[in-house]
């Protein structure tokens, strides 16, 4: 992620690829450099960076917020000791590249509906994450420095952002349905230019976001239409995943490129251990190693530095599986959304009566797809798991959300967003938390916004009820269930 002060100022004010004056632009053009980067190169960069960054965030912090993992060293994040946290800079720096793909895809000489659908899908993904993480964010005036000279964009309310996100995904579906071929190298590191798979991704994201706003709106007709059409991710074969080549640090599982000391700071959380042992879950052995005593031991979330180190010394909590998550550059993948999550979305939608279909069937398939993704391929083993009293579906939203939480391992902050919407599975702040015992519901706006975009920042803060980690967003405060 770029950290140059000048570059951050430019991007956060909505400026992309612009010059100060016409004379400057004319006299500083390199005749040996291309005027426009091709769509395939931009697609390769944007797709890989988004997938890689989302998964890395999920691994380190998303898993902590849903208490599958905790830190035994530098545990401040789990104490909710938050400052400039999250993905604000990343998304507002990658969005100009996504916008360029979209513009190229619509230009007469380079028109291509598949690239258009890809760009719309990525744009929706970026803005959905931004508003889910921060609430009100720059949207309608964001990334308009080049076209409209807006360098201090206003913040839009979350409902406006979601209207745009969902419309982008509808438009992406229409563009990708044309199934236009991309000639030559597509630059598509996930689906190699396969429009039908991008279409399934767009509709799967739409299912995710429709369910997210379902406390505010009746989304039944829209969700049912997607399910009836059948163009969404149903099996692991269609997962939106990125397999690392391992040829460089950039093309490797991020954790494998760091120091072993940093890796060893992450441990199994006591909450996650309770879930996994309650269900007799084989994923425990895949994600974590036993400690030196041959046991699985967790560490509570939210301990301060001294207490975390003392607990670690006394109990030796289980570290993450070192072969999978550190020594291999290629075994662990990056991903945006997988079939397991989609099936759990449909299970909840069916249970709440939003769509037709059997909630238990979707629930079982969500578990089955997650197990198979993580290498548990024996159907008899999965059938035995599903038959356990603790696992067998009983219509409980809490059971469904607990199993979904496990399936969301490493999937950015989706488990935290689900918790904020449903309150399930129930999570409690740790004993040394810095938030008065409250579980946070958003990240703070970057401090740079207070100086670079002060007027709009203050208006946004007033609109959401304060720039603190307890100010709820629009979709959390609905009353439909």
Angle 359-373/339-351 helices, nearest 10 degrees? 160
**pLDDT tens, position by position, 309-355:** 999 999 999 999 999 999 999 999 999 999 999 999 999 999 999 99
Determine the pLDDT at residue 330: 98
**How many angstroms separate the CA atoms of 147 and 16, rounded?**
9
Tell me the C-alpha distance between 130 and 421, whole Å. 16
Q: Which residues pair with 337 in a beta bridge?
A: 240
Angle at 267 between CA 262 and CA 271, to 5 degrees: 150
Query: Each residue of 161-211: pLDDT tens digit?
Result: 999 999 999 999 999 999 999 999 999 999 999 999 999 999 999 999 999
- In the chain the domains, ranked by start, together with CATH numbers, are 5-17+38-250+331-477 (1.25.40.390)
What is the band of 219 on the pLDDT scale with cuts at 50, 70, 90? very high
- As a whole number of angstroms, the distance between CA 354 and CA 305 comes to 45
Question: Residues with Cβ < 8 Å from 149, sequence gap 6 or more?
Answer: none
> Where do the DSSP E strands lie in 308-467?
334-337
Q: Return d(Cα 461, Cα 134) in angstroms, integer.
A: 11
* C-alpha dihedral (341, 347, 348, 349), degrees to nearest 10: 110
Segment 8-31, tens digit of pLDDT = 333 344 433 333 333 333 334 444
Q: Which pLDDT score is estimated for 35?
A: 53
Q: What is the DSSP letter of 401?
A: H
Q: How many residues does the chain have?
A: 481
pLDDT value, residue 8: 37
pLDDT band at 7 (very low <50, low <70, confident <90, very high): very low
What is residue 34's predicted lDDT score, i.e. its pLDDT?
A: 41
Element containing residue 69 per DSSP (H, E): strand 69-71
């Amino acid at each position: 992620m770029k950290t140059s002060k000048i570059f951050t100022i430019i991007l956060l004010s909505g400026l992309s690829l612009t010059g100060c004056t016409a004379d400057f632009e004319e006299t500083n053009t390199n005749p040996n450099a291309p005027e426009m980067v091709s769509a395939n190169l931009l697609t390769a960069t944007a797709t890989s960076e988004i997938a890689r960054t989302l998964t890395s965030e999920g691994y380190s912090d998303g898993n902590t917020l849903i208490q599958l993992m905790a830190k035994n060293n530098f545990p401040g994040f789990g104490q909710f000791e938050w400052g400039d946290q999250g993905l604000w800079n990343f998304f507002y720096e990658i969005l100009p590249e996504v916008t360029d793909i979209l513009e190229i895809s619509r230009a007469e000489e380079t028109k291509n509906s598949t690239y258009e659908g890809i760009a719309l899908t990525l744009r929706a993904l970026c803005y959905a994450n931004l508003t889910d993480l921060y609430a009100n964010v720059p949207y309608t005036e964001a990334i308009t420095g080049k076209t409209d000279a807006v360098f201090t964009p206003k913040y839009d309310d979350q409902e406006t952002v979601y209207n745009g996100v969902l419309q982008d995904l509808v438009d992406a579906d229409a563009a990708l349905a044309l199934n236009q071929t991309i000639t030559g190298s597509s630059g598509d590191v996930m689906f190699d230019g396969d429009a039908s798979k991008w279409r399934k991704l767009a509709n799967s994201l739409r299912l995710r976001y429709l369910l997210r706003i379902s406390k505010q709106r009746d989304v039944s007709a829209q969700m049912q239409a997607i399910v009836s059409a059948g163009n969404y991710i149903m099996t692991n074969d269609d997962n939106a995943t990125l397999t690392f080549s391992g040829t460089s640090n950039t093309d490797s599982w991020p954790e494998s490129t760091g120091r072993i000391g940093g890796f060893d700071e992450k441990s199994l959380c006591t909450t996650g251990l309770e879930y996994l042992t309650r269900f007799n879950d084989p994923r425990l052995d895949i994600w974590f190693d036993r400690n030196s005593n041959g046991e699985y031991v967790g560490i509570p979330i939210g301990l301060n530095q001294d207490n975390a180190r003392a607990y670690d010394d006394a109990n030796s909590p289980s570290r993450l599986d070192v072969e999978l998550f550190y020594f291999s550059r290629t075994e662990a993948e990056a991903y945006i959304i997988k079939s397991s999550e989609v099936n759990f979305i449909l299970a909840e939608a069916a249970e709440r009566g939003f769509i037709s279909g059997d909630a238990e069937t979707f629930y079982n398939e969500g578990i089955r797809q997650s197990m198979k993704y993580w290498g548990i391929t024996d159907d008899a083993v999965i059938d035995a798991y599903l038959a356990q009293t603790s696992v067998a579906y009983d219509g409980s939203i809490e059971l469904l959300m607990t199993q979904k939480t496990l399936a969301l391992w490493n999937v950015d902050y989706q488990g935290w967003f689900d918790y904020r919407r449903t309150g399930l599975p129930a999570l409690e702040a740790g004993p040394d938390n810095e938030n008065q015992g409250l579980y946070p519901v958003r990240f703070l706006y970057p401090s740079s916004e207070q100086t670079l975009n002060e007027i709009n920042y203050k208006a946004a803060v007033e609109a959401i009820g304060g720039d603190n980690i307890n100010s709820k967003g629009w979709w959390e405060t609905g009353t439909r269930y």
